[in-house]
Structure 1
Amino acid sequence: MIRSILATSALCIALAAPALPDTAHVGPRPLYLVDQMADGALKDKLLSCADQPVRRTDFSIGHRGAALQFPEHTAQSYTAAARMGAGIVECDVTFTADKQLVCRHAQNDLHTTTNILGTDLASKCTAPFTPASGETKANAECRASDLTLAEFQTLRGKMDAANPNATTTQEFMDATANWRTDLYAAHGTLLTHAQSIALIKSHGAKFTPELKAPVVAMPFDGMTQENYAQMLIDDYKAAGIPASDVRPQSFNLADVLYWIDAEPDFGKQAVYLVSWAGDFDEQDPATWQEDFAALRAQGVNYLAPSMNMMLTNADGEIAASAYARAAREAGLQLIGWSLERSGPLDGGGGWYYGSINDLVTSDGDMYAVIDVLAQDVGVVGLFSDWPATVSYYASCMDLP
């Protein structure tokens, strides 16, 4: 009960905060990255903006808030993203056992993103914690749909992590990557979708909710997939949010087409998310799953591929991929995801930079990537776990 009261109080304080001015607070990280760049025109340009105010920009999208250092999808993470100049903030949407919409990256991630395994609610998890033993890894699966909304709201958000070699629940939960931090993880306030709308609105930012794929069978207690997609839109209508301020998104094309048909004012901003998979080659159309012309004919205006799909190595230079160019030529507006999820970039940036790993040698290369995405690919927005990085670039380059 005490924990629930404290969480509610923290949320009330956050929602009572006045809207932030358009000037952002980006801290030392943008210039820390610029300092590591190779000398050249881009570095000079970014340095020239060092003493200029950074403004809020829709080009900067808070991916799960500011999840590099704040527990994702919490009031604290969303607030940090808005303060860093993110003009748009993301709530990933799933549902509880009583069919209430809440902000979580996946329906079944409570064991890695909250403190549930350290509470009495651990007994309600789909798969309670089992310790590592021999070659068997530690395991747990806790779903939002395992809990009622009231139970969900007693939990605290934590940095997304799990230790597969853990023999205790505490070891399992205490696994934050060494390039992240638990410094701000003590008070991760979880949110319903409606609460996220009120909080993000209070900071003057816009919205990009993602309808997450259920892990439970649908219909769920009578709720169909279309009911679920409609509930997401209904929360914005109830809050009086203009459709033009909302970019609903999904990896499920059927969700996007539902919004286009049933809620055309929202549907024209709907974002179809796609990811590198299988034998995809960013330069070989034979490996692409998306038919760009068909998507446009169905009313899809926005496509959001993972960054690795939109970048390529062109004779030793980072460049727009053939995939990105073809999508743009078909009339699709592109959005990229996600910066700041790979840790230090020395020696390659991992999956998100998979098509250009051999060109990524330091954290300073992040701004080279942003510049290609903005200027060559022509993305209209870029997700980041630390929106200050993108806000600084967009403000310096005078992007919308």
Structure 2
Amino acid sequence: MTHVLRQAALMLAGGLALSLAQLPSAHAGKVQPVTTYQLGVRPMYLVDQVPDKDLKQRLKACENIPATKSQFSISHRGAAMQFPEHTKEGYMAAARQGAGVIECDVTFTKDRELVCRHSQCDLAQTTNILSIPDLAAKCSVPFSPADPATGKQATATCCTSDLSVSEFKRLMGKMEGANPNATSVAEYMKGTPNWRTDAYAATGTLMTLAEAIELFKQLKVDMTPELKAASVPMPYQGDYTQEKYAQAMIDAFKNAGVPAKRVWAQSFNINDNYYWLQHEPDFGKQSVALIPVDTPDQVPAAKALLPEMAAKGVKIVAPPIWALLALDKKGKMVGSDYAYAARNAGMNIISWSLERSGPLTDGGGYYFQSVTPAVKGPGDYYTALDVLANDVGIIGMFSDWPATVTYYANCTGR
């Protein structure tokens, strides 16, 4: 499969956009192609921190290699470490960093238009909706301030399904976060983690799926839409079933003339993958089954499901980083039992999400929970990626900062 991905990548011409203007219609607007990619200083900063001398030497040797686009480098929500997620600006930053595949998480509005958001009900944390009175009034749960006397935290729940698509397009993306101790809307919206930045949040152009597809076509990248779980009861409005929702996402790519081989449809709901395999086999055979494991006790059940998934035609699984890693007797990172079970079941593997854990000075949190004792600092992003690439044999890595993965891919021929 890796060979197939490389062949597909070679067929794609490099491109990116310079315009950051708000989109007035259902199209992304023309973008100007470029021939060079910009990885910046972060990859070498991480290389300088790599603890393994051999790996550091191998990666440092590639410092002056011209960057190229790679399908091994998959954009997670755009370039969400520094840009508001699922915005035009973030997507173009990912393209500039050589991501060969870009993600649009897909959910729907009140009028059933498909839009790019990580969660149906994350608008209070990822957009400026609370600062727009008439739209804030439509939120499922209005803003409620924190009460220090009782310990109550500030809350708000605002969903895409609360808005029409035209109302959705009035919003601007912001860096993900919220201040739980806020006593005002302004304070609540200032929740960016201290290891991220608001330096690129002055603009944040939200996108419908149709707009994102048009942009990705012009950028000549592959596309990985994720069908997000609905936060409203399904069927929605009486007749919008999960199956219609899953079909609508695929129809958006068919209507835009995107070949199935350029689309890596994803879902955490395995029944969506099964639906695509049955009803849209050209798309289904390249669909990605995201593995919903949050803690180690959930892994055995996920492992036990692999034979059934393989028998029904699923060819790609995507677990979180930690589920693919373990520690050997010497305390070094190695592939996990789940990783090898997936390979033995004939699966290809993608993983998520690099550069989502901050500076890695605290063991890495959720994404490194299986190997915490081995995680000492920023360079271990590359320690983990090298194990995943070589020992586990992943075919792609989602990253909040695609340049990190692009550098590794360019250096190792992926």
Alignment of 1:65-104 (within 5 A): 65-104=78-117
Identity %: 51
Cα drift, residue 264 of structure 1: 0.3
TM-score, scaled to structure 2: 0.91
Cα deviations across residues 46-78 of structure 1 (Å, max 9, x unaligned)? Answer: 111101111100000000010000000000000
Q: Is the 8 A contact 1:11 1:189 kept in 2?
A: no
User: Is residue 275 from structure 1 mapped to residue 292 from structure 2 by the alignment?
Assistant: yes
CA distance in 2, matches of 1:340, 1:306: 13
2:40 matched to which residue of 1? 27
CA distance in 1, matches of 2:296, 2:117: 30
1:135 matched to which residue of 2? 151
Cα deviations across residues 226-277 of structure 1 (Å, max 9, x unaligned)? Answer: 1110110111111111100000000001111000000000000011101323
2:323 matched to which residue of 1? 309
Q: Which runs of 5+ in 1 are unaligned?
A: none
Q: Is the 8 A contact 2:98 2:402 kept in 1?
A: yes
Cα deviations across residues 270-318 of structure 1 (Å, max 9, x unaligned)? Answer: 1110132355276xx4x54542111110110010001110000112110
Alignment of 1:31-50 (within 5 A): 31-50=44-63
Cα drift, residue 208 of structure 1: 0.3
2:240 matched to which residue of 1? 223
1:16 matched to which residue of 2? 30
2:337 matched to which residue of 1? 322
1:333 matched to which residue of 2? 348
Cα deviations across residues 17-66 of structure 1 (Å, max 9, x unaligned)? Answer: 12343x42100000000011125221111111101111100000000010
Q: Secondary structure at the match of 1:156?
A: coil
Distance change >3 Å, CA 150–CA 258, structure 1 → 2: same
CA distance in 2, matches of 1:68, 1:131: 27
Q: Secondary structure at the match of 1:338?
A: strand
1:292 matched to which residue of 2? 306
Cα deviations across residues 316-343 of structure 1 (Å, max 9, x unaligned)? Answer: 1100001100110110010000011111
1:160 matched to which residue of 2? 176
Alignment of 1:156-195 (within 5 A): 156-195=172-211
Calculate the aligned-residue CA RMSD, in Å: 1.6
2:7 matched to which residue of 1? none
Q: Secondary structure at the match of 2:106?
A: strand
Cα drift, residue 203 of structure 1: 1.2
Q: Which deviates the most, 92-101 or 269-278?
A: 269-278
TM-score, scaled to structure 1: 0.95
User: Is residue 367 from structure 1 mapped to residue 385 from structure 2 by the alignment?
Assistant: no
Cα drift, residue 346 of structure 1: 1.3
Distance change >3 Å, CA 290–CA 152, structure 1 → 2: farther
CA distance in 2, matches of 1:362, 1:279: 23
Q: Is the 8 A contact 2:303 2:342 kept in 1?
A: no
Cα drift, residue 130 of structure 1: 0.3
Q: Is the 8 A contact 2:129 2:136 kept in 1?
A: yes
Distance change >3 Å, CA 388–CA 71, structure 1 → 2: same
Q: Is the 8 A contact 1:19 1:204 kept in 2?
A: no
User: Is residue 247 from structure 1 mapped to residue 264 from structure 2 by the alignment?
Assistant: yes
User: Is residue 353 from structure 1 mapped to residue 363 from structure 2 by the alignment?
Assistant: no
CA distance in 2, matches of 1:249, 1:6: 29
Counterpart selection for 2:283 from 263, 266, 273: 266
Q: Which runs of 5+ in 2 are unaligned?
A: 1-19
Cα drift, residue 201 of structure 1: 1.5
Q: Which deviates the most, 122-131 or 39-48?
A: 39-48
